[in-house]
Structure formats: C-alpha cells, structure tokens
Amino acid sequence: MSRETFEYHWGKHHRTYVENLNKQISGTELDGMPLEDIIIATYNKGDILPAFNNAAQAWNHEFFWDSMKPGGGGKPSGDLLDMIERDFGSFEKFAEEFKSTAATQFGSGWAWLAYKANRLDVDNAVNPLASEKDKRLVIVKSPNAVNPLVWDYFPLLTIDVWEHAYYLDFQNRRPDYISTFMEKLVSWDAVSLRLEKAKALAAEREEEEQRKKKEEEEEKLSEGDNVEMYLDSDSDDSEAD
C-alpha cells in the first residue's frame, strides 16, 4: 500500500466522513454520544437515518487502520489461532474464506472477522447468521458503511474493499490488494487483543443476564410468599369473626 493511497484514503476520504458527521450531528441529540451508539441508533433497523453512513464510515476506517501494522501478516498464535482452527478447520482455510468474502462483496463495502456471541435477532437488525452457533468466529461482508456492530457482533478484523482503498495501487485488481493486506499488513496482535476483550465483554454480559434472570425468579417466588401470607391472615380474620 503506497504513501499516496494512505494520503488520499486517510487524509481525504476518512477525514471527509468525520467532518461531514460532525456537521450533521452538531446541535442534535446525537451530539456527544459515543460513536458506537450513534451507529446503532442511526442504523434504525436497516431503515438508515442520514448520519449513519458518515458515522459508520468514520468508525470503520479507524478500525481498519488499527487492523494493520508495518511488517504485519503471517499467522496469529495462541487463543486466536486455536479458535480459527476450531471454527474454520485451519488457518489456511480461514484465510481463503476471508479473501474470497472480501473479493466477492459486490460494489463498495467491507469484509470482517467477528466474534459472534449472540444467536438471536437483536432489537436493531435481523441477525444474518441466526442459525449458526454462538460464541464462535464468523466471516461476514457488509455493503457500503454497514458494520457488524449493528448485528451485535464483536468486530475483530476488517478490510475496506471500496475502490478508493486500492485503485491507485492495484487499479481493478482487488484480489491482489486483499492478498497484500493478508500477507503483509494484518496486525494479528491487534486482532488477538480485540478477541480477548470481546470474550470478556460477552462473558460479563452473560453473567449480567443470568443475574437479572435469577433476581426476577426470586422476586416471583417472594411475591408468591406474600400472597400466601395475605390469604393466611385473611382466613385468621374470618375465624376470629
């Protein structure tokens, strides 16, 4: 990836998304909200609101830059590699699927590796892999500015496959750009760190849900006790009469 590509892609395209978003939300209720919350609110169950594209593109690009490092590529290790091997068969099979997903996103968009901790449809969107098991790694593609946050997935790695990402260096050869990204640029350290955070957050969320469930059950039980006490005292009264 050349200096010229970075100057255009980061210096002009990414900057424009950020500047346009700031103009769009200035003085609105979105102003001051975390970027992730703006994305989810403006996705609006797929019927997107005006700020969505700029908000998601601002987030996606930041995430994309942090997915790379000079001298990257190679193979991941540790827990990330174990999960890739468990969920895709081998690192080679994963790399093949990731590349072909990125190559076959029709038109502008993104390809993602994500941690899917949620099997059910979420409030915000129809889960594209609802029937797949949860707590696993998945590869997904998304059109235009859409990202896996809207499906309640944890994004771990992304590649920008908008033409502006590769045209200066590779012209129409998107697969060559994708191979260069995978072989020389991916920061597996960044992906590993994101996976650890995603798993910790998902576990926290699960604990919280179980705690709430238990509380609700206990509340129901104690409500049952109250009814009984009331009935008992009621019958005592009638006896006294």
Binding-site entries for Mn(2+): 9, 61, 160, 164
The residue from 59, 162, 177, 188 that contacts Fe ion (CB under 5 A) is 162
Indicate the residue among 11 and 224 with the shorter CB distance to Fe ion.
11
- The CB-of-16 to Fe ion minimum distance in angstroms stands at 10
Indicate the residue among 152 and 160 with the shorter CB distance to Fe ion.
160
Query: Which region, judged by CB under 5 A, interacts with Fe ion, from 87-95, 124-132, 165-173, 200-208?
Result: 165-173
Q: How far apart are CA 235 and CA 241, in angstroms?
A: 10
- The CB-of-14 to Fe ion minimum distance in angstroms stands at 7
- The CB-of-59 to Fe ion minimum distance in angstroms stands at 12
- The CB-of-216 to Fe ion minimum distance in angstroms stands at 45
Q: Which residues line the annotated binding site?
A: 9, 61, 160, 164
Query: Which region, judged by CB under 5 A, interacts with Fe ion, from 125-133, 142-150, 153-161, 210-218?
Result: 153-161
The yes or no reply on residue 160 touching Fe ion (CB under 5 A) is: yes
- The CB-of-180 to Fe ion minimum distance in angstroms stands at 16
DSSP string, the chain: --HHHHHHIIIIIIHHHHHHHHHHHTTSTTTTS-HHHHHHHHHGGGS--TTHHHHHHHHHHHHHHTTB-TT--S---HHHHHHHHHHHSSHHHHHHHHHHHHHHS-SSEEEEEEEE---SPPSSS--TTTTS-SSEEEEEEEETT--GGGGT-EEEEEEE-SGGGTHHHHTT-HHHHHHHIIIIIB-HHHHHHHHHHHHHHHHHHHHHHHHHHHHHHHHHHHHHHHHHHHHHHHHHHHHH-
**Angle of helix 78-88 relative to helix 188-240, nearest 10 degrees?**
80
Query: Which region, judged by CB under 5 A, interacts with Fe ion, from 99-107, 160-168, 184-192, 231-239?
Result: 160-168
Indicate the residue among 61 and 116 with the shorter CB distance to Fe ion.
61
Indicate the residue among 94 and 162 with the shorter CB distance to Fe ion.
162
- The CB-of-109 to Fe ion minimum distance in angstroms stands at 10
What is the separation of C-alpha 35 from the centre of its chain, rounded to a whole number of angstroms? 13
The yes or no reply on residue 87 touching Fe ion (CB under 5 A) is: no
Residues that bind Fe ion (CB under 5 A): 160, 162, 165
